[in-house]
Amino acid sequence: MNVAIISSQSNKELKSSLILKRFFSSNLNNVDSLIIVKKSYAKINKDYIQESLLCYIDHLFCVVYNFLLGIIYKSFCVKYDFNSRRFMRISHIINNYKKNIKKIIYVEELNSDDLKDVLIERNISLLVLAGVGIVKDDIISIPGLKILNVHSSVLPGYRGTESEIFALADAKYDLIGNTVHFVNNKIDAGEILSIKKFPKDKLKFGISYIRYLNKVLAAENLFYAVKNINSILPKKNNINNSVYRSRPTKDVFFNAKKHTQSCV
């Protein structure tokens, strides 16, 4: 099986980077190529800043934690490797794991003839989505190609973007997590391969942390699904039991925040 991973230099670069780090820091040697959709719009927005800040705080916490342990054990030797932690840019992944990346290919747009030609020419049988937009029929219909995505909540509950926020706003705690599923011509409606539920004891740390940690867990879940794809029996994704929601309003965020506080 020839596997390609496609990522995007966009507002979802944090999600892309976490997924790419999980794959290329391993010895999963059937990844044929890394395809990158070139940056087409600004990276900076409120959500990106919050989640990136959490990454840096995570680094700082680990440094302080190791330093305090050094004091406790009367040793001031701080052993901390930033490269072993989480990355925030695709360029970091390429620079640190280039020996594990067989081929890097850049395309201008996601649903383009260029991408279609690359997938056919390289005989890709599994395309892994790592923080890109909606894949359209021209790509989905390529003969012999399967496409995997990781969705930000437990399917079939909430489909659409930022679905973990809607689940939290409705106090559907069992639906907070992520789902690896095949991609078809309906949004978040393909067969399910793997579900990872969010740890309930972490809900009390707030919306930004939930979104950040869920991305970390999603990267692990996606890696697991690809590694074991031949032994996993896909399950039906009954979209009749789901709702489609996108772009949460201020009221939705308010209710989500309220429900995180109730978890304390």
User: What's the mean pLDDT in 47-72?
Assistant: 64
Question: For 45-59, 63-77, 89-103, which range has the lowest pLDDT when averaged over its residues?
Answer: 63-77
Question: Is 223 in contact with 173 (CB distance < 8 Å)?
Answer: no
- The partner residues of 196 in beta bridges, in order of sequence, read 178
pLDDT of amino acid 95: 82
Percent of the chain with pLDDT over 70: 79
Please, which pLDDT band fits residue 205 given cuts at 50, 70 and 90?
confident
Q: What is the pLDDT of residues 78-116, one digit of tens each?
A: 454 444 444 567 877 888 888 889 999 999 999 999 999
* pLDDT for residue 245 is more than 60: yes
pLDDT of 261 > 90? The answer is no
pLDDT interval class at 249 (50, 70, 90): very high
pLDDT for residue 220: 95
| pLDDT of 39 | 66
Residue 263 pLDDT class (50, 70, 90 cuts):
low
pLDDT at residue 5 in the model: 96
The pLDDT score that the predictor gives to residue 83 is: 47
- Supply the pTM of this predicted model: 0.81
Most confident of 43-47, 78-82, 223-227: 223-227
